[in-house]
Amino acid sequence: MTNRVIVGALGGSFGVHGEVRLKSFCADPQAIADYTPLFTEDGRCFAQVILTGHLKNGFTARLDGVVTKEDADALRNIDLYADRSRLPSLPDDEYYYSDLIGLTVLDTGGATLGTVKNVMDHGAGDLLEIQVKGHSETVLLPFTQEIVPTVDLSVGKIIVNPPEGSLPN
């Protein structure tokens, strides 16, 4: 999956005729249909995605090969991935979440703090989940210019300036 980026998730059926609930993670949510084919983690491929309507947190859609309510229900909580080559290039200060996961996290003094375990967005801004070196718990840091002044994908490192008391001793 390293050449693929998560672009959305399926939420099961919508109605009884094979439509699915689709949540897009794209900056332009409707663009998810432009990034076909879309893939599941187990390798299933959807060559065509047709957005058929809007929902509160996404869309209703038709996927090739999904024709019954049972087919659609079987896709509940399934993530969708697009080939990286199908996605637009990003400006220098924007990143795909998948590019950040696994990067080494250093403080501004150069000490290794841990690695990026996950990147989350709950609506109020992106958060980096850091697996702290030598600790079982993780910490969340806001992914802002002030807290994360440097991201260097070429060397696989992120420099952070964590707020006082945000990291375990």
Residue 91 lies in a domain: no
Residues 78 and 110 in one domain: no
Q: Which domain holds residue 116?
A: 97-160
Residues 11 and 71 in one domain: yes
Residues in the chain, pLDDT under 70: 1-2
Of the residues 60, 85, 110, the one at which a domain ends:
85
Residues 10 and 74 in one domain: yes
**Are 19 and 71 in contact, with CB atoms under 8 Å apart?**
no
Residues 149 and 118 in one domain: yes
Residues 81 and 101 in one domain: no
Residues 55 and 24 in one domain: yes
| Alpha carbon distance 50, 36 (integer Å) | 10
Whole-model pTM: value is 0.75
Return the amino acid letter for 78: I
pLDDT of residue 96: 84
| Alpha carbon distance 71, 65 (integer Å) | 8
Residues 106 and 151 in one domain: yes
b/e code 132-169 from CB counts within 10 Å (16+ = b)? beeeeebbebbbeeeebeebeeeeeebbbebeeeebee
pLDDT of residue 2: 63
* Torsion angle of C-alpha atoms 77, 67, 29, 126, degrees rounded to 10: 10
Residues 8 and 81 in one domain: yes
Query: Any idea what the CATH number is for the domain that residue 115 is in?
Result: 2.30.30.240
Residues 67 and 103 in one domain: no
Instruction: Count structural domains, the chain.
Output: 2
